[in-house]
Chains A and B, each alone.
Chain A
Amino acid sequence: MSGRLEARGVTHMFGGLRAVDDWSIVLEPGELVGLIGPNGAGKSTVFNLITGVYRATRGSIRFDGVELVGRRSNRIAACGIARTFQGIRLFKDLTVLDNVRVAHYVKMRYSLMEALFRTGRYHGAEDRVVGHSRELLEAFGLAEYAAERASSLPYGQQRRLEIARALATEPRLLLLDEPAAGMNPNEVGRMMEFISWVRREYRLTVLLIEHQMRLVMGICERIQVLDFGATIAQGTPDEIRNNQRVLEAYLGPAEEGE
């Protein structure tokens, strides 16, 4: 019960296209691992496979021993896995607070009847939800926006809100999809500190997809590289930095005399 992810031989086909090819990974509890690769390498597809958006054509993904392949997304969330999205998917017309409150569905401790009759149990649970949501917003520096519509937030705050919302489910594994997309070097630096802090503070295992190499090299303990759906390298940032295959994947094959 600690947040260990183990994927083995995961393959996913879209018709004839092999988007993910025999992918495997082991994430030990508490690790911060990066997933990189050129565009279209299948990284987001991997996230979608883990969270149940797609059902892997072949292979197994186990989280603390529980098989995820074939489970519905909300059941996977209940197992303790949360994620953010490449293009932010907040609930735009809802308030910032409500965005976080929604994610407490997995933790619902009362039945519909109790909601309808507003029992003490209902009120207690709802107060806890509001309390927990406010705490998260405080911790993420979003408390002042609580009553604002999520779509009115500046970009950087929206990214933070997405992470806050994900944390509302009290996950053990957090999947971050390009958390620093579109950010300038200053913002990237802050996001790096932020992610490290979140991982420490909430005792999470983190798998992140990112194109900003500074972030990946800076905070990831381990990196896995995908190209055309297959793993082409795994290792520490230093190992990856100097890996010939990785360089070729990003820059193209080496030419004569280079």
Chain B
Amino acid sequence: MRAIQDLLGRRMPRRMFLLAIVAAGLALSWAIPHGNWVNKYIQMILVFIGINIILASSLNLVNGYMGEFSVGHAGFMAVGAYMSSVLTLKVFHLTGPSALFPVAILAGGLAAGLCGLLVAFPSFRTRGDYLAIVTLAFLMIVKSVIENIPYLEGASGLVGMKRLTTLPWVYFWMVLTLWTLRNFIYSTYGRGILAIREDELAADIMGVDTRRVKVLVFVVSSFFAGVAGGLYAHYLQFISPRSFDILKSTDIILMVYLGGIASLGGSILGATLYQVLMEVLRPGTFNQAFSWLPDPAFQWLSDRVFSHLDVWRMMILPLLLILVMLFRPRGIMGLRELPIFVPLRDIQERRKPGRGGEP
């Protein structure tokens, strides 16, 4: 069945379209901070959303697509953060924007990827629950190692990195992450990942090299966690072992399951929802939003309700997740994907006999 001519005819316009969107996004990510189109506070939110997307989508690869239960993602983030920071601070001695910044970030990612290799091997023999422990142990070990190395300033934290992370850089790495993950997932390797989730034994017997696939998944996933860590470090300009503890890992897990497992769109959704809710649910925002109310009413609301938000907002996210789990156990977009990520070949599949019409 040689539908290649046909596909190519459709593929080129689609590729052009995607390229145009990506380029527009890049231009936008440069223009916004340059021209201060939105205030600094919102720019910060955008940066964190971007970093979260990298974290959530990379974790989704392991937890969502492959169906494992890893709680060590913050550990890989830490490796990347420290590696890149040490490079910019103590090796490259960067004082401002430089072409060496992406090199440092890349190095952080590679170091994290190497650690991913270490976690992959125990995954060959252990079932899901046990893997949680292995990844938790890894997290603890990373934390301990960092705390015990004077060169890394131990528990007091590493400080002094320049703010090299900018919105365009975050955008660039985010796009790279999504592109890599998408091409990985929609390939024979990727289908191997899904098969492992569905039935590992059957996958093995059907010829899937489960060991190789697991290694690839852990390495790719941790690589991008390391990248995110590096970007994070060079935005906050301060990192300590406490920034990368089990609570951080749990936050990332929350994003993944809120947005939806096995869905890149879901990770984007989860990451965005998480950050937005965290920021929006503050007294300041509500005060501004409701400032049009007549004074006594506004004053009452502000004192009785909004001022408590800071404290109650932390409860809203887990509650939201519980609600989502009750009605959509796989997450809001679980197992479903944004059409823009799905290759033509797989969309075609849904158009075949009996389906009819546009996807």
Contacts and interface: CB of A to CB of B under 8 A. Distances in A.
A102 B204 contact: no
Contact of B207 (A77, A117, A126, A130): A77
Interface in B172-218: 180, 183-184, 187-189, 191-192, 194-195, 198-199, 201-211, 216
Interface stretch (A57-65, A86-94, A203-211, A225-233): A86-94
Interface stretch (B43-51, B96-104, B349-357): B349-357
A123 B195 contact: no
A144 B205 contact: no
A72 interface: yes
A95 B352 CA distance: 13
Contacts of A53: 201, 205
A118 B203 CA distance: 24
B345 A102 contact: no
B353 A77 contact: no
Nearest to A91: B198
How many interface residues does chain A have, given as a range? 35 or more
A60 to B, nearest CB: 20
Interface string A179-222: 00000000000000000000000000000000000000000000
B183 A74 contact: no
Given A89-B201, A106-B207, A144-B354, A94 B194 contact: yes
A169 B1 CA distance: 19
A77 B184 CA distance: 23
Binding site secondary structure of chain A? helix
A48 to B, nearest CB: 9
A147 B206 CA distance: 21
Nearest to A106: B207
B207 A78 contact: yes
Interface string A83-125: 1010001111111011001111110101010011110001101
B281 interface: no
Contact of A143 (B7, B206, B353, B355): B353
B183 A98 contact: no
B189 A91 contact: no
Nearest to A132: B1
A115 B189 contact: yes
A93 B353 contact: no
A112 B207 contact: no
B202 A126 contact: no
A140 B209 CA distance: 27
B155 interface: no
B16 interface: no
B273 interface: no
Best-surrounded residue of B187, B195, B205, B208 (most CB of chain A within 10 A): B205
A168 to B, nearest CB: 8
B356 to A, nearest CB: 11
B189 A98 contact: no
Nearest to A166: B206
A97 B349 CA distance: 8
Interface of A: 51-53, 72-74, 76-78, 82-83, 85, 89-95, 97-98, 101-106, 108, 110, 112, 115-118, 122-123, 125-127, 129-131, 134, 143-144, 146-147, 165-166, 168-169
Given A72-B211, A110-B188, A134-B1, 20 more contacts: A74-B204, A74-B207, A74-B210, A77-B204, A77-B205, A82-B205, A83-B205, A90-B202, A94-B191, A94-B198, A95-B349, A101-B188, A105-B191, A105-B192, A105-B206, A112-B189, A116-B184, A130-B349, A146-B353, A168-B206
